[in-house]
Structure 1
Amino acid sequence: MPDIRRPTVPTYAVCSVPIAAIDASGAAARIVADAMAHLPCEVHLCNAYTLSLVDGDEQMRTALLAADLNLADGTPVALLGRRHGLPGPVRGTELVGEVARQGGADVRHYLYGGNEGVADLMAAALVRKVPATSVVGTECPPFRPLTDADLSGLVERVRASGADVLWIGLGTPRQDYLVHLLAPQLSIPVVPVGAAFDFWSGTIKEAPRFLRGTGLEWVYRLAKEPRRLWRRYLLGNPRFVLSAWRHRG
């Protein structure tokens, strides 16, 4: 592959992982530029739970350190970037909409994630919000570990669709592992946005707007899905604080 010169994105370290000090608009501009230039771009949205895993999960750590763009998904991570000019977190839902808006008819999207029918509902919502949006593929992943044949098939289908961006919605850490495997095989941005599939589709409600950016959005989500999310927040949040403290400097 020829040498690819991209604009330098300022970063700051959290848990020894470089986080881009850019907002959703800036992140979308980078993703759209790479999509239109047919350049590979491995993206990860890093919240406190994601970063809490890096000390004990070598696969996650490898993925984040190899990424082209790690974004601050969550107020605690964004707050640590304040002195570097980061105005606030980059939420997955917002990022999807911003890429659709900036890319318009020039950027084609492939949606891989969610339960049965969720990706289709998300596609319909995107087109309603940004009528120029082109969604060229939707898939519900199997409820089992993906095999090499699954990965090869997905790569072939994404290539055949002509997609310019692949959105992954499997939840952390599974989606981050998959992005790291797919990104080198696809000359397009590959972006994991997890719950954004459910939020865009309307199958799960987002936290009220007044809670977003306050650092308390997790309380709302925990109240809505306690059985699925209790471990992430009640164990992951303290682990993140310890890891961030350990890697400070």
Structure 2
Amino acid sequence: MPELADSPAATYAVCSVPISAVDASEAARRIVRDAVEARACQVHLCNAFTLSLVDQDDDLRTALLEADLNLADGVPVALLGRRHGMKGPVRGSELVGKVATMGSGRLRHYLYGGKDGIAQEMAGRLQHHVPGLQVVGTESPPFTPITDEHVGGLVRRVEESRANILWIGLGTPRQDYLVRRLADRLSMPIVPVGAAFDFWAGSIKEAPRVVQGTGLEWLYRLAVEPRRLWRRYLLGNPRFLLSAWRHRG
């Protein structure tokens, strides 16, 4: 497997947050390398909604500014990095698949997120996609505030499982807060991928391939889950554009 150079990738700022100008394959190679070498790595997938929140959420802003790897999750965020070499967005489900394939035989995955049974179903489908894939833990946590006791228990279970990569699917910004709280306690990549848990489990269908990468995937998701996502897109998208304009430079 080709390795990434040790020098950091170029970054560009969106809403004052540094985004790494890497595609899904480059991001996956970095994550696999850090997992194999037991390096802590805070990863965030930054879509328009995530970045629309940073001006009003100091905890989220701090989490993103402290991250090792902020990835452009969505066409609008990726387009803003074109002059820095950004080729396309990094979709969470695609990243999971690439890391699973590149790290086959070397990675031990822990899945934390989704509704009851989603993490287990995701594990099964990943193992079908990559025969021999090691999933050493699955949890579908209750949707309650995450206390220090919860965090301590999760750290203990992940360490006991001997996982070397932790995937989180709690939704933004909740999953991003958790990455930061875990970062100094686990020497591994911690990667929040939100809806990728549902996509891999098959509980929600992804947008058709003809729509992916067009910048219109949000319309498909809004049509599929209007009650849950209308605020995210109809309010979040304009807020993102205003924030990106305000922080341009």
Q: Normalised by the size of structure 2, how large is the TM-score?
A: 0.97
- Post-superposition offset of 1:183: 1.3
What do you get for the CA RMSD once the two structures are aligned? Answer: 0.9
**Matched residues in 2 for 1:80 and 1:70: separation?**
14
Deviation of the 1:143 alpha carbon = 1.8
The residue aligned with 1:218 is: 218
The whole-number CA distance in structure 1 between the counterparts of 2:159 and 2:86 is 34
Residues 170-204 of structure 1 deviation map (CA, whole Å, 9 limit, x = unaligned): 00010001111111110000000000000000000
Query: Partners of 1:230 and 1:199 in 2: how far apart?
Result: 19
Give the alignment of 1:144-183 within 5 angstroms: 144-183=144-183
Per-residue deviation, residues 109-131 of structure 1 (Å, max 9, x unmatched):
00000000000000001011111
Aligned equivalent of 2:206: 206
Which residue in the other structure is 1:88 paired with?
A: 88
More helix by share: 1
Task: Deviation per CA, 1:28-86: give whole Å up to 9, x if none.
Answer: 00000000000000000000000000101000000000000000000000001111111
Q: Distance in 2 between matches of 1:130 and 1:10?
A: 31
Q: Match of 1:14?
A: 14
Give % identity: 70
CA distance 1:133–1:7, change in 2 (3 Å): farther
After TM superposition, the runs of 4+ consecutive aligned structure 1 residues lying more than 2 A away are: none
Q: Secondary structure at the match of 1:105?
A: coil
Amino acid of the residue matched to residue 54 of structure 1? V
2:101 match: 101
Mapped to 2, the partners of 1:183 and 1:200 lie a distance apart of 25
How is 1:1-249 mapped onto 2 (pairs within 5 angstroms)? 6-249=6-249
Q: For 2:133, give the aligned amino acid.
A: T
Gaps of 5+ in 2: none
Structure 1 spans left out of the alignment, 5+ residues: none
Partner deviation per Cα, 1:205-239 (whole Å, 9 max, x = no partner): 00010000100000000011111100100000000
Cα displacement (A) at 1:9: 1.2
- In the aligned structure 2, how far is the partner of 1:161 from the partner of 1:50? 31
| 2:201 maps to amino acid | S
How many residues are aligned here? 245
TM-score normalised to structure 1 length: 0.97
Amino acid in the other structure paired with 1:175: Q
Structure-1 separation of matches of 2:143 and 2:41: 26
Between the aligned partners of 1:14 and 1:146, the Cα distance in structure 2 is: 28
| CA distance in 2 between partners of 1:244 and 1:212 (Å) | 22
The amino acid of 2:163's aligned partner reads A
Tell me how far 1:132 sits from its aligned partner.
Answer: 2.6
